[in-house]
């Protein structure tokens, strides 16, 4: 979906080279990085004559091998290239047989003999995650952090017989942030920019422009891969050095220390500024000042008196806990009662005794429900306490949350003192007078029911695409912010009222939230239009309107989630009962795109909340404002704090941390296929968290000559230009039967000329701006590639000559199956049209299905038999017949193949956020 456009277009950012010299390449390496380099090089027109990678592991091929095998590229899986230091003759001969002109080694863990390295006429180039000559070796990126370097980066160098000592071809660098980790550097810079750099390097070689800069020996170093035994923390250092040591060893092998006589590994370090929060002292071996277990983690001090915060601890048995929970079993929350309060406690004891007449005496540990009380008794208790104890306001939920006498008295006393009153929500609004109203927009992180700045104070700009102006600065969440949000969500699920709430009460809260969204729909639609460029009328009806419908639909599901009883076959006498329970998963993460910011939030979070989970949501970095306004409305709706958390920020930092976090049990993502693959890998490696993915699309729309032409023109245009083409299910390619092809195109162009392009807040506007400038530039580039490939540009293809990020509605015809624009998603207002032979139903179906994507599809014909046949054969998660874009909250939505898996909307969506437990009872 959204990320597909970015990733695909990014890969041909070197379009100026598109028709220059090309090479025959051998790719030697592995991993997702190798796969992306391979795919990008082929898209640039280079011929990969052979892929040399590692053997399958546990029956699973490396991602590079998977991509190459799918394309029919020769793949060789050698376990080794040499034995006892000597090249294996058969392996070398197999390599030489492909006839490569250049070896490209994007990520290679094997030792490659020099007679292979030097064999091609252009030799070999290698990617290395360091600004050579600094930090040579396999763990270079770790040492960049361990040694506190201000700059990180990578090098592409010519291979020689030394250890990362060959001449340099190309280098790129980025700054290292104070709390960067290996993962954040990799995802923000080393991975995406490394792919582009490898492609650029190959093209420089092909064009005869590649430099060979001899590496200096000055500053050259080599640090080996750390062993666990060497990773113990030395506390006799400044806090920053300790922090660097911990983050540099994060994941592997893990920096450790000794606590209570056992080795404990430390993860998730960040530097602290200011005074640490109150907490409980913890003795750490070798640390002069005891650590401090606080609500946010374990505070540790360096030799300079400065502090760092560790988020997670792992014990020798492999168990990992939040550092804030180290003393959780010993925590006490009781308050001491005054004589007056003690007297009221005795009054409450008498009320309990009056209700629980079967109990000889009400003592501190007496449990209201275990003593036989029912729901009517709960109401009686609450009302009697109100009547006889000074009118203290209690809720029935208070009894369920504090079911023992001593706990109930504690709740009463806190309520009497006013200690449990909800804090007033403080919002630092950004305001704008626009669209005949004043819109008030939260712009901070929303964590545990409060708006607050990012931990490190960083912000990012959110831009109005209609004119390029700054709307406001929005908090850019750090890893620490994400960890605090997850901790709040976990606490809300495990110990807060949400996890114990009656499902019908939970549904009432979601209904109330939907009502508030409706009350604020004009403000939400205005913010959505400003932030995403959506035409206001569409934002009001679809972006906001469908969001409200979604919450109302799932609010109705809260008390209808059911298990079932199952007959089982056991030896006689069969006195067994087996039943299933549908339970929430726990803390869920949701990552949404920029094309429908509020609607995508609703599609995922409504089902998540209805199922009883808590959530941490990352909106797209360029469109965070409606998500933050939504957060404000959740407080007004009475959603308990910690249930919903919003952490704006970058995907490489915030999204990666959500993927990696051990306390998150499910991640729902909408975005590109490459990013989806990476998220799935991270989720698997972290804690096997459940994943649902709605990914890229290239949805076919088949228009037969027996269609209703007026409707086919109208709906065909909507299939492409709806929401200015920034639509995950947009028809990426239209197949029009040849007898009506020319008439169809003529009528489409006539209708395009009538479209009004302009201010999205103008009620008469048909077509608004693209979401952001980088996307607009890529759309223009996409059209240029289409022209260069030989497609006919009928109209459009350019930026509109006015302020803002406006793209002309575009039509291409004569698009052949092999062309880039026939295969890749534009994610913009570009109609890609191919004709097909009269009556060739199976032929056009084969062409329509010849894609790795399968999100949506459509067919226009008045022949019902043909329509049903085509709908059966189309390989996509959604098929539209004589309509398009008609989604409904009750109908499941999701893709096939590399468009992802899992469903949003409908009853099916609930299953994405539930687990099934089987219980068998013998009686």
Decide: 429 and 452 in contact? Cβ < 8 Å: no
pLDDT reported for residue 400: 67
Mean of the pLDDT values across residues 757-767? 96
| Interval 578-596: pLDDT, tens | 999 999 999 999 999 999 9
pLDDT, residue 178, reads 84
From 87, 141, 144, select the one nearest 116 (Cα to Cα).
Answer: 87
pLDDT digits (tens, 9 = 90+) for 68-123: 999 999 999 999 998 988 999 999 999 999 999 999 999 887 889 999 999 999 99
Sequence length of the chain is: 923
Residue 523 corresponds to which tokens in the numbers above? 């403000």
pLDDT band at 10 (very low <50, low <70, confident <90, very high): very low
Mean pLDDT of the chain: 90
pLDDT attached to residue 182: 82
pLDDT digits over 870-892, tens only? 999 999 999 999 999 999 999 99
User: For residue range 302-326, what is the model confidence (pLDDT) as tens digits?
Assistant: 999 899 999 888 888 666 677 887 8
Residue 7 is predicted with a pLDDT of: 34
Q: How confident is the model at residue 334 (pLDDT cuts 50, 70, 90)?
A: low
> Can you tell me the mean pLDDT for 51-72?
86
User: Beta-carbon neighbour count of residue 161 at 10 Å?
Assistant: 10
- Assess whether pLDDT exceeds 90 at residue 478: yes
- Among 36, 523, 694, 824, the active-site one is 694
**Which residues are documented as binding site for (6R)-10-formyltetrahydrofolate?**
110-112, 164
**Nearest CA among 906, 537, 883, 573 for reference residue 716:** 883
The residue-averaged pLDDT of 61-66 equals 88
pLDDT tens-digit map of 336-358 = 788 888 888 898 999 998 889 88
| Mean of pLDDT values over 675-704 | 95
pLDDT in tens, 521-578: 999 999 999 999 999 999 999 999 999 999 999 999 999 999 999 988 876 667 888 9
Q: Beta strand pairing status for 830-836 and 810-813?
A: parallel
What's residue 338's pLDDT?
82
* Average pLDDT of the segment spanning 207-235: 85
607 pLDDT exceeds 60? yes
Q: Stretch 602-627: mean pLDDT, rounded?
A: 98
pTM of the model: 0.64
Measured distance CA(248)–CA(267) in Å, rounded: 10
Do 527 and 439 meet the contact criterion of CB atoms below 8 Å apart? Answer: yes
Which residues have C-beta within 8 Å of that of residue 708, sequence separation ≥ 6?
860, 862, 882
Please report the pLDDT score of residue 4 as a whole number.
31
**Which of 393-407, 493-507, 899-913 is modeled with the greatest confidence?**
899-913
Q: Indicate the pLDDT class of residue 739, thresholds 50, 70 and 90.
A: very high
Task: Return the pLDDT at 378.
Answer: 78
For the chain, give the percent of residues with pLDDT over 90. 70
pLDDT of amino acid 915: 97
Q: From the candidates 445, 608, 707, 728, which is the catalytic residue?
A: 728
CA atoms of 851 and 872, how far apart (whole Å): 17
Contact 1, 693 (CB under 8 A): no
Instruction: Report the range of poorest mean pLDDT among 291-295, 633-637, 909-913.
Output: 291-295
DSSP for 739-795, written as a single string: HHHHHHHHHHHHHHHHPPBS-TTSTT-SB---S-HHHHHHHHHHHHHHHHTT-EEEE
Opening angle at CA 696, ends 692 and 699, nearest 5: 120
Between residues 843 and 192, the one the model is more confident about:
843
pLDDT of 276 over the 90 cut: no
Q: Rounded distance, CA 265 to CA 246, Å?
A: 9
pLDDT at 572: 67
Please tell me the predicted confidence (pLDDT) of residue 406.
87
Mean pLDDT for 441-464 is 95
At residue 233, does pLDDT exceed 70? yes
Average pLDDT score over residue span 628-636: 96
Assess contact for 765 and 759: CB atoms under 8 A. yes
Q: How far apart are CA 355 and CA 359, in angstroms?
A: 9
Rounded average pLDDT over 369-390: 81
520 noted as active-site residue? no
The arithmetic mean of pLDDT across residues 657-678, rounded, is 95
Known binding positions: 110-112, 164, 592-594, 618-621, 651-656, 671-672, 778, 825-827
In this predicted structure, what is the pLDDT of residue 6? 33
**∠ CA 104-72-41 to the nearest 5 degrees?**
35
Q: Is the pLDDT of residue 16 over 60?
A: no
- Give the active site residue among 128, 135, 520, 775: 128
What is the structure's pLDDT at 364?
A: 87
**Chain centre to alpha carbon of residue 545:** 24
Average pLDDT over residues 271-281: 76
31-43 helix and 191-206 helix, angle to the nearest 10 degrees = 40
Per-residue pLDDT band at 639 (split at 50, 70, 90) = very high
Higher-pLDDT residue of 135 and 900 is: 900
- 140-170 residue pLDDT tens: 888 889 999 999 999 999 998 766 889 999 9
Q: What is the pLDDT of residue 3?
A: 31
Nearest alpha-carbon partner for 776 in 463, 460, 443: 463
pLDDT over threshold 80, residue 376: no
Average pLDDT value for residue range 696-710: 97
For 722-747, what is the mean pLDDT?
Answer: 97
Q: Kindly report, residue by residue over 800-828, the tens digit of the pLDDT.
A: 999 999 999 999 999 999 999 999 999 99
Active site residue 728: yes
């Amino acid at each position: 979906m959204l990320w597909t456009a970015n990733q695909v277009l990014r890969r041909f950012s070197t379009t100026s080279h598109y028709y220059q010299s090309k090479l025959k390449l051998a790719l030697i390496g592995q991993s997702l990085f190798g796969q992306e380099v391979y795919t990008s090089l082929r898209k640039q027109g280079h011929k990969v004559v052979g892929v040399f990678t590692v053997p399958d592991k546990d029956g699973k091929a490396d991602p590079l091998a998977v991509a190459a095998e799918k394309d029919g590229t020769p793949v060789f899986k050698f376990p080794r290239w040499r034995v006892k230091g000597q090249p294996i003759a058969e392996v070398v001969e197999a390599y030489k047989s492909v006839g490569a002109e250049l070896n490209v080694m994007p990520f290679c863990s094997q030792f490659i003999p020099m007679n292979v390295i030097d064999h091609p006429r252009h030799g070999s180039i290698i990617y290395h995650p360091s600004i050579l000559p600094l930090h040579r070796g396999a763990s270079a990126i770790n040492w960049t952090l361990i040694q506190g370097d201000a700059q990180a980066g990578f090098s592409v160098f010519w291979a020689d017989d030394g250890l990362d000592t060959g001449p340099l071809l190309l280098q790129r660098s980025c700054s290292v942030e104070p709390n960067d980790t290996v993962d954040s550097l990799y995802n923000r810079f080393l991975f995406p920019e490394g792919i582009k750099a490898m492609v650029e390097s190959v093209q420089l070689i092909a064009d005869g422009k590649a430099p060979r800069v001899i590496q200096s020996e000055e500053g050259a170093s080599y640090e080996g891969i750390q062993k666990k035994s060497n990773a113990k923390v030395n506390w006799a250092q400044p806090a920053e050095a300790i922090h660097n040591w911990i983050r540099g060893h994060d994941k592997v092998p893990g920096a450790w220390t000794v606590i209570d006589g056992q080795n404990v590994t430390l993860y998730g370090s960040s530097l602290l500024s200011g005074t640490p929060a109150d907490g409980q002292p913890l003795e750490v071996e070798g640390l002069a000042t005891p650590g401090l277990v606080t609500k946010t983690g374990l505070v540790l001090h360096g030799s300079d008196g400065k502090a760092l915060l560790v988020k997670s601890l792992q014990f020798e048995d492999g168990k990992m806990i939040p550092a804030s929970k180290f003393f959780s079993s010993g925590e006490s929350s009781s308050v001491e009662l005054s004589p007056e309060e003690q007297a009221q406690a005795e009054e409450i004891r008498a009320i309990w005794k009056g209700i629980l007449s079967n109990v000889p005496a009400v003592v501190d540990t007496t449990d209201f429900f275990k003593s036989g009380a029912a729901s009517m008794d709960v109401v009686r208790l609450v009302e009697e306490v109100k009547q006889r104890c000074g009118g203290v306001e209690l809720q029935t939920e208070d009894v369920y949350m504090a079911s023992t006498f001593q706990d109930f008295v504690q709740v009463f006393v806190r309520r009497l003192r006013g200690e449990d009153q909800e804090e007033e929500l403080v919002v630092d609004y950004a305001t704008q007078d626009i669209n005949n109203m004043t819109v008030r927009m939260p712009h901070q992180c929303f964590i545990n029911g409060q708006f607050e700045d990012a931990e490190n104070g960083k912000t990012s700009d959110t831009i109005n695409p209609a004119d390029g102006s700054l709307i406001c600065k929005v908090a850019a969440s750090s890893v620490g912010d994400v960890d605090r949000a997850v901790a709040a969500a976990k606490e809300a699920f495990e110990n807060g009222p949400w996890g114990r709430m009656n499902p019908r009460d939970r549904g009432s809260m979601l209904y109330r939230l939907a009502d508030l969204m409706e009350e604020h729909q004009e403000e939400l639609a205005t913010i959505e239009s400003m932030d995403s460029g959506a035409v206001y009328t569409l934002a009001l009806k679809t972006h906001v309107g469908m969001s409200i419908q979604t919450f109302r639909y799932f609010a109705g599901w809260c008390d209808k989630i059911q298990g079932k009883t199952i007959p089982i076959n056991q030896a006689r006498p069969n006195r067994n009962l087996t039943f299933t329970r549908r339970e929430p998963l726990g803390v869920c993460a949701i990552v949404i795109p920029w094309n429908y910011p509020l609607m995508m939030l609703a599609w995922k979070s409504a089902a998540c909340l209805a199922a009883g989970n808590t959530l941490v949501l990352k909106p797209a970095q360029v469109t965070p404002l409606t998500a933050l306004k939504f957060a404000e409305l959740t407080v007004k709706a009475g959603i308990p704090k910690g249930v919903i958390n919003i952490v704006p920020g970058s995907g490489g930092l915030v999204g990666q941390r959500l993927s990696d976090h051990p306390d998150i049990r499910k991640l729902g993502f909408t975005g590109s296929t490459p990013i989806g693959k990476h998220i799935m890998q991270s989720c698997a490696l972290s804690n096997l968290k459940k994943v649902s993915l709605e990914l890229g699309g290239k949805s076919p729309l088949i228009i037969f000559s027996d269609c209703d032409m007026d409707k086919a023109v109208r709906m065909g245009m909507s299939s492409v230009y709806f929401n200015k083409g920034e639509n995950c299910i947009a028809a990426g390619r239209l197949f029009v039967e040849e007898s009506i092809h020319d008439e169809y195109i003529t009528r489409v162009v006539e209708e395009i000329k009538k479209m009004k392009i302009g201010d999205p807040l103008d009620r008469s506007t048909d077509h608004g701006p693209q979401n952001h400038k980088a996307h607009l530039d890529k759309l223009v580039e996409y059209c240029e590639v289409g022209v260069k490939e030989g497609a006919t540009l009928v109209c459009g293809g350019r930026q509109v000559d006015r302020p803002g990020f406006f793209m002309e509605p575009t039509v291409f015809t004569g698009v052949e199956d092999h062309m880039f624009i026939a295969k890749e998603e534009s994610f913009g207002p570009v109609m890609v049209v191919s004709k097909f032979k009269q009556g060739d139903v199976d032929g056009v179906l084969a062409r329509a299905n010849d894609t790795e994507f399968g999100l949506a599809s459509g067919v226009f014909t008045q022949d019902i038999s043909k329509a049903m046949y085509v709908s059966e054969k189309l390989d996509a998660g959604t098929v539209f017949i004589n309509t398009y874009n008609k989604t409904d909250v009750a109908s499941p939505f999701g893709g096939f193949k590399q468009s992802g898996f899992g469903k949003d909307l409908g009853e099916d969506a609930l299953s994405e956020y539930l687990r099934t437990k089987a219980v068998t009872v013998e009686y």
